Every structure is written in C-alpha cells, then in structure tokens.
C-alpha cells in the first residue's frame, strides 16, 4: 500500500519537486555516513594506546621521585646449594636521572666504599685506593644486582621503547614494551618491560644480552606509600642462567632531599674517604 501511495503522489507532483526530493533522499545517507566515519575515527583515536616513551617515563616516576631523594637499599642474595644468605646494604642519593651516589653501609668489610654516577660515567671509591676506579654500569655489584641497577635505575632516556602488545597477567591489564639501548654504555642492551595499564605501575622486566640471551628477570612487588606515590618497595631479581639464584632488593626510608650539585663530584667524595 505504501508503495502505491508514494507512486501516485509522485506522478501528481511537479517534476522539479520530485527531483529535489530525490536529491534530499540521496544527501541524507551521505551526511550520515560521513558523520559516522568521523565519530568512528574519533573513537579510535581516543582508544589509542599512549606513546611508548610516555609509558616508560610514567613508570620511572612511579619507581622514584623525579627530583632529589635519598633511600636505603637492603639486598639479600640466596643461591642453590648454599644455606647462607649474603646481605649488602646501601644508601643511595640521587638527583634527577644523571647524578647518583651509592654508599656501602654493610657488610663491615666493605663499609666506606662509594660509587659516583654522572650521566653514564661511573666511578668507585675504595678506602684503600687513593684514586677512583672507573667501572661499567653493567658490572655485577652483588648477587643479581648490577652497578646500574642502583646507580642508574631509570629506563627513560637510555632506551628507545616500542609497544609490542597488551596482555593480561594475574588479572592485570599490561602494556608489554621492548626497550632497546639508545646508545652504548647502558646497563642492559635490551629489556622487555611489563607496565600496568592505567596506573603505570611497573610489573616485571626481562633483561637480555646483546646476543638476545635472557640474563635475568625482575618483579616489582610490595607497593607502599613513599614520598607521595605508591612505589614498589621490593624487587625480586632471578638469574635466568642459574636457576634458583636470586637477589631481593628492599627499599626503605625514602625521603626527598635538596641535594646540592657539589655532592655529585669526585672532589667531594674524596673528602669523605
């Protein structure tokens, strides 16, 4: 019935009005399609994942304050076949990404040793040696902990980040990123890094050699309120080459400090020896 009514009406209307009606009918779907396409593009852009470098930088800020701070680090290392636990303790003074001093406070046999990092240069000061000795960031400090794990722990600035995928582990939605060293001299050539969506909390990391061999893994645990942020107070580092060997790093007594640049100089540390 509706078809017959429309047809009879069309015959009675002037030709020009019929043509205008046809144009209107054709125009509306086109406008609707354009609007839908625009809305779809906007939704896609809104749902897009953040920049990989931004994810890494946000996770760095979760781990440590961006400005000057001090923190005590307790490292306990266990190995298969050894019933003893090796314990080392350090006090870390840090200012930004480029300046760090690491003071060894235990054991007594190593007390007084100090490390100074300026940019990517690292020196160790030993009580028995008059001049500081230069060391690589990748060199082992104790157990599974490398010099750079304490002296230059941030990833942003040292690595080019690529977002590989997103996945769910332990009911957490995570970004999975590949970090490749942006220049020589960093602690690890390559890192795979899991960061929680939304909160940007670091979840875990895998550290690789230049030949893509897995060295060790790290889990970020025991998030606690420290200096205005919920931060991981415990890092569990496990040797991928020697199963059962692991080091646990515990962060204690974190506090912001206004540290003068003078602290991060070789001359200043020589005075403390």
DSSP class per residue in the chain: -HHHHHHHHHHHS-HHHHHHHHHHHHHHHHHHHHHHHHHHHHHHHHHSPPPHHHHHHHHHHHHS-SS-EEEEEEEEEEETTEEEEEEEEEEEEEETTTEEEEEEEESGGGTT-EEEEETTEEEEE-TT-SS-EEE-TTSEEETTEEHHHHHS---BTTEEEEEEEEEEETTEEEEEEEEEESSTTSS-SEEEEEEETTT--EEEEEEE-TT--EEEEEEEEEEEEETTEEEEEEEEEEESSSTT-EEEEEEEEEEE----GGGGSHHHHHHH-
Which phi and psi angles does 32 have, rounded to 5°?
Answer: -60, -45
Q: Which of 264, 231, 262, 260 shows the shortest CA–CA distance to 65?
A: 231
Express each pLDDT in 215-240 by its tens digit. 999 999 999 999 999 999 999 999 99
- Average of per-residue pLDDT across 73-95: 96
Are 205 and 192 spatial neighbours (Cβ–Cβ below 8 Å)?
yes
pLDDT of residue 138: 95
Given 3.40.140.10, 2.60.40.420, 3.40.1550.10, 2.50.20.10, which CATH number is that of 52-272? 2.50.20.10
Q: pTM score, two decimals? A: 0.81
Q: Is the preceding peptide bond at 10 cis, omega within 30 degrees of 0?
A: no
**Two tokens, residue 132:** 């500081």
Q: 12 pLDDT exceeds 60?
A: no
Express each pLDDT in 206-218 by its tens digit. 999 999 999 999 9
Considering the chain, what percentage of its residues have pLDDT values greater than 90?
A: 72
**Two tokens, residue 39:** 């809305």
Hey, where are the domains in the chain? 2-47, 52-272
**Band (243; pLDDT cuts 50, 70, 90):** very high
Of residues 177 and 185, which shows the higher confidence score?
177
Q: Which of 138, 178, 183, 134 shows the shortest CA–CA distance to 157?
A: 183
What gap in Å lies between CA 109 and CA 86, rounded to an integer? 13
What gap in Å lies between CA 216 and CA 238, rounded to an integer? 5
Which of 14-18, 33-37, 247-251 is the least confident region?
14-18
pLDDT of residue 16: 40
Q: 147 pLDDT exceeds 90?
A: yes
Of residues 14 and 193, which shows the higher confidence score?
193
pLDDT of residue 273: 67
Express each pLDDT in 38-58 by its tens digit. 444 444 444 567 899 999 999
pLDDT of residue 1: 44
Beta-strand relationship, 121-125 and 114-118 = antiparallel
Question: What is the chain's mean pLDDT, rounded?
Answer: 85
């Amino acid at each position: 019935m509706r078809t017959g009514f429309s047809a009879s009406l069309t015959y009675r209307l002037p030709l020009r009005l019929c043509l205008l009606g046809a144009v209107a009918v054709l125009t509306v779907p086109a406008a609707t399609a354009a609007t839908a396409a625009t809305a779809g593009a906007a939704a896609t852009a809104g749902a897009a994942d953040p920049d990989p470098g931004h994810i890494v930088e946000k996770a760095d800020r979760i781990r440590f304050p961006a400005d000057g701070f001090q923190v005590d680090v307790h490292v306990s290392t266990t190995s298969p076949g050894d019933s003893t636990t090796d314990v080392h303790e350090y006090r870390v003074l840090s200012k930004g990404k480029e300046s760090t001093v690491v003071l060894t406070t235990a054991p007594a046999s190593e007390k007084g040793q100090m490390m100074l990092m300026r940019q990517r240069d690292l020196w160790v000061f030993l009580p028995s040696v008059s001049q500081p000795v230069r060391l690589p960031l990748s060199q082992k400090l104790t157990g599974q902990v490398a010099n750079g794990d304490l002296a230059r722990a941030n990833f942003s600035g040292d690595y080019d980040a690529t977002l590989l995928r997103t996945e769910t582990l332990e009911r957490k939605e995570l970004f999975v990123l590949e970090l490749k060293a942006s220049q020589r001299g960093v602690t690890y050539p390559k890192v795979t890094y899991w960061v929680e969506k939304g909160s940007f909390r670091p979840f875990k990391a895998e550290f690789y050699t230049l030949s893509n061999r897995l060295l060790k893994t790290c889990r970020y645990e025991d998030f606690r309120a420290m200096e205005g942020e919920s931060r991981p107070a415990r890092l569990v580092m496990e040797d991928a080459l020697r199963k059962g060997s692991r080091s646990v790093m515990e962060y204690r007594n974190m506090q912001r400090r206004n540290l003068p640049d003078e602290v991060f100089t070789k001359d200043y540390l020589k005075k403390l020896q």
